[in-house]
Structure 1
Amino acid sequence: MRLNMRLNMRAVGAVVGVLAALCVCDAARFGQLCSGNPANSRRTADSWGQGHFGAGRGTRLHAGLDIVCSDGAVVYAPCDVTLAGRLTVYTDSSKAAINSGINLRAEGLCFKLFYVNPDRTSGSVRKGQRIGTMMPMQSVYPGITSHVHVQMCDKSDPTQYF
């Protein structure tokens, strides 16, 4: 009887663990990131390359996911987030026009948005609220599909959240 009870408790514990994992994944589903792109369409091939995670970038791989966003468009919080400071994207001064982004934390995740001029860099923002504007990517990369680059802090693939 005790053995059966222990086995049943282990089975219940395993089921609860799986359900908890499913809930975390559902909770981390990102909403609209950029005005004008309610479906979070991703950057495909253009003269500057491709925007999917792992795309080739010369000798390195693209460590994020590019979500289409027009220059000057409003950028929204993709989920309830804590703003965790401004970031500098490049060390190259020729790219100063797009050299900003923001660090975000949410639901156990840590991620960054590149090419965003944040309205503020600390505090909390609810899903769908404005967090900034898309910087003028065309001024640095003429002809590229303008986009917000989403990168996980651990450089894992962010595609699953979209």
Structure 2
Amino acid sequence: MEVILKEDVNKLGHRGDVVKVADGYGRNYLLPGKLAIVANAANKAVIEQMKGSAIRKLAKEKVVAEDLATKLSSVELSFERKVGDNDHLFGSVTSSDIAHQLEEKGFTIDRRKISLEEPLKTIGEFHVPIKLHRDVTSHVKVTVSGDRPVETQTASA
């Protein structure tokens, strides 16, 4: 199935690209999610007109993303999680946690733009990349600290 992408799709293509995808992927994910339209003659003509406006829109988005990247580079997030032996966390810090804390600080970032390979499961300082635009990536400093549970002592009478 050939589709025309209306939005950038990770590992598939950019807005305006005509790509060949599996029928199920196109029908069940791209089309209902309004990420693509079916590539037929009429839509190809429409997409050519859209490409011109997309280039202008992309330039504006890049400027906004670069501005946001400079603001995000100074942001530091800290998380406190319960830890066990060997400073191993009970639970983890995920991209959703990072997005939620960024939102509390006034930055609305989609969690899917936070490029966390896997959740943070150890104590330490991490620089997490955030892909704001296809050409703009910012890094946020994330500090994960431990909160050891207080061990209760039994009183002997």
Does the TM-score normalized on the shorter chain lie above 0.5? no
Q: Which has the higher contact order (CA 8 A, sep 6+)?
A: 1
Q: Could you say which TM-score interval applies, normalised by the shorter chain? A: under 0.3
TM-score by length of 2: 0.25
TM-score by length of 1: 0.24
Greater C-alpha Rg: 2
Relative to its length, the structure with more helix (as a share) is 2
